[in-house]
Each structure stands twice: as C-alpha cells, then as structure tokens.
Amino acid sequence: LLAIPDLIHLLTSNNPSISEMAVDALARLGGRSLPALVAALKHRDERVRAGAAEALGAMGPSGALATGALLESLEDRAPYVRLRSASALGSFGAAADDAVPYLAARLADEDPYVRLEAARALYRVEPEREGYLDVLLAGIAAEEMDVRYQSAEMLGEVGMTVPAAVPPLARALDDRNFFVALTAAEALKSIGTEEALRALREHRQQQ
C-alpha cells in the first residue's frame, strides 16, 4: 500500500491509468487522506491540484468537508482545476449549498468547459437555481463538439421540467457530428413530452 504522499506524487503522472489509480486510491482512503488532499489543492503542479479536487469529489460525504477549500480552487488560474473543483462540488449535492453563489459566478467563466461543468454542478446542488440553463442552451450551439455533446446530454436530463430545452435539441438533430445528433435524439426521447416526440417524428419524416 503506497503512502499518501506517494499517491499524491503519482497525480503528476502523464499516464492516465496511473493518475486515475492514484485518484481512486486517495478517494477510498476517505478522511485519512482529506488533510493531504486539501493541502494538495495549493500544489504548484496543476495536475496535482486537479487530481486532488477529483479525489475529493469521489470521496463521498467526507469530501464535502473540503467544500471551503474547493471554493477557493474555483478561482484557480488553470481551467482544468476549476473544472474539477466544480465537478467535485456538484458531486456533494445539497451538502454543498454554500457553493451555489460561487458556482453561479463560474457560469461566466472564460473557458466553455468550466462553464458547462459549473452548470452541471449548480443543477446538482440546487436544481431550482436559475442560470445554468442559459449555459446549456448556448453550449448546444458551441463550436467545440464536446461542449455540444455534453450540453445535449444534460438538456435531456433537465428538459422534462424545462420546455425551452426542446427547440435547441430539435435543431441539434441536424448537428454535423453524428454523436451530438444521436445524443440530442436520445435527450428528446428521454424528455418524452408531446413537443419533444413531435420534433423527433418530424425530423425522421424529413430524412
């Protein structure tokens, strides 16, 4: 069994299998690794900072004890650290309600992936909060394929209660990327309202 400092050092590995193993091991240690992970959020290497945030998010309820430190990491200069910090906070759900205004601020992040992850986290922490939907509606028309794909996927998750999700998903059925179009179709099926199903039927008839 590797010591906690050794596992944290492995977060610097450029081999995803090794760094992911370290994240998993640190998360399974729970409270025993919590102080070291909180300290690692200040590490000079952004790979360590991002890995520490990811491990805290995977830790479950005990990871929520690091909410304050993760709020600071939402301001990290590295986009991937901000993304992982938002993801971790979202994984805590309502237990991270202190994070709501900080996540809302990240909806205007300069990085589209951070904006998307902040929207996802905000929905998980406080589904009634306004703002995340605007990010998803903009994301489904983004230049980056991954942003369009993830936005379509999440619109399917929230769209049952948000009628405004259907028109952009219907337009995404014609996306130039097959996987985005397929995800939009699955999202509309998941929403299952008459408007959503009609959009699917009309698209099939046009093919």
Domain ranges of the chain: 130-207
H or E element, residue 131: none
Query: Is 2 a residue whose pLDDT tops 80?
Result: no
DSSP 3-state assignment of 45?
coil
- Among residues 67, 45, 47, the alpha carbon closest in space to that of 56 is found at 67
Res 1: pLDDT: 56
Pull the structure tokens for residue 12: 């610097």
pLDDT digits (tens, 9 = 90+) for 146-177: 999 999 999 988 877 778 889 999 999 999 99
Q: How confident is the model at residue 206 (pLDDT cuts 50, 70, 90)?
A: confident
pLDDT digits (tens, 9 = 90+) for 188-199: 999 999 999 999
For the chain, what is the mean pLDDT?
94
Rounded distance, CA 188 to CA 178, Å?
15
Top-level CATH class of 130-207? mainly alpha
Burial class (CB in 10 A: 0-12, 13-18, 19+), 46: middle
Average confidence (pLDDT) over 116-131: 92
Rounded distance, CA 21 to CA 23, Å?
5
What one-character-per-residue DSSP string does 78-144 give?
SHHHHHHHHHHHHHTGGGGGGGHHHHHHHTT-SSHHHHHHHHHHHHHH-TT-SSHHHHHHHHTT-SS
Lowest mean pLDDT among 41-45, 100-104, 146-150, 155-159: 155-159
Rounded distance, CA 46 to CA 186, Å?
36
Residue 184 is given by DSSP the state H
Res 56: pLDDT: 98
**R_g of the chain, CA atoms, integer Å:** 19
Query: Is 98 a residue whose pLDDT tops 90?
Result: yes
Rounded distance, CA 107 to CA 105, Å?
5
Nearest 5 degrees, angle CA 137-CA 139-CA 142? 125
